[in-house]
Structure 1
Amino acid sequence: MKGSRIAALRRARSAALIGLAVAASAGCSGGDDDGTKGEAAELSARPPGAHSWTGRPCGLLTDAPPAEGFALGITTDSASPEAREDVGENGARPLYRRTGCLADLKGPDGAFWKLNATASVYEDSEPARHAYRVKEDLDRAHGRGPEKVHDTAYALPADDGGRPGRTLLLWNGDLVLTVSAYAPHGSTEREVRKNLERIIGNAAHRMENGLRDQSAPSPSPSPSPSPSPSPAP
């Protein structure tokens, strides 16, 4: 009996050590449950920044593949230098300029995916925050999510004529960024979700980083509203 207990303890200890080694190996290699790697499968929050408009936004996405095994195909810039008006708080009409990129992606099996990234650069961080919050509230009210990525970004499922997709919305300083990706027809959301997350995460990171004005000071956080004074007794 004693020998069998010792043997069982040794087997349990050996299994635990093997499990730790496998976990460490997966952590170092960036692997996950489907055996692939994602450069930005989990998009982390960045400090607020100031951003500049560009007439060639697709150029921000060409330095590296959109995700492992994917290739960027035909791209179309949709940038307009004209300033637009947005409806802000208390009737304010802040200005912003929009720039975007529409791209075809070729998957590892040769199938075609789609990517659409649109950035709105506001004249200040507060109108950008308001625009982001309005969109988030609308998506929540219509039951479309949101699924929090971090405090200033959320994701939700998307659809394009039966093609399963995913959309990411992100706010950083004076920037509101929307990135959507769509898988080939016939795909299921469960099959393609990991790759969709990688694609939109990588595209959002590159767009935000490429539009960021590295020489500009970070915008100050908006002050919290002061509490209303209590009425005199």
Structure 2
Amino acid sequence: MKQLIGVYGASGFGEEVMPLVRSQYSKLDNQQFVFIDDYSQSTESCFYQILSYQKFLAHPATDKQIIIAIADSKIRESIAKKLAQDNITNLSISADSSTILGNVELGEGSILCGNTYLTSRIKIGKFFHANIYSYVAHDCVIGDYVTFAPRVSCNGNVHIHDHAYIGTGAVIKQGTPNKPLVIGKGAIVGMGAVVTKDVPAGAVVIGNPARPLVRQEYQTNNYLNEYQAS
């Protein structure tokens, strides 16, 4: 066997991604696809073998490639660094029903699930995940390790920084060329939230319109005043 493709993550999102990988590499045999999971107690999932990362590296295949199907962006980043050290190629996967229009720059390791849509003049960084029915409209800039849950609506002139997580059904209002709407690094936008103004780095926002989720670490007048005045 010359080629071996691994889906890093043997449950949940990984099981959704495996059929996309299988479709994109339809000429390969089933035994040329494996899951990679360092903590699984099982040896098989969805009829595919589960290997630890070390066993994947030790496999006799000469051409090894991996797609990282891990929702947690920090773990995704740590795995990506490990793959770079071991000279393992990162794959990008797009469902047959996904659409990419003109002048779209998409970094390595991306996953575009079914019915995702990228329009025009978009720049997206490394290891972007877009789950089903999500879209990115014109003139958006998205950083590295950003995650879209299903049905995220990202309208035009939006800038999303590294490691942001956008929850299921969230809607991000369109910015303008002179003042893009910004979602800061590591911010979390809750399920169904409607974002109408900038979200600070590390913030958690929920609701319609989106407001800060008040936790102990966010309960300062300076933070709330800054957000409300933006």
TM-score (norm: length of structure 1): 0.25
- Which protein has the larger Cα radius of gyration, Structure 1 or Structure 2? 1
- Which fold has the larger relative contact order, with Cα–Cα distance below 8 Å and residues 6 or more apart in sequence? 1
Higher normalized helix content (fraction of residues): 1
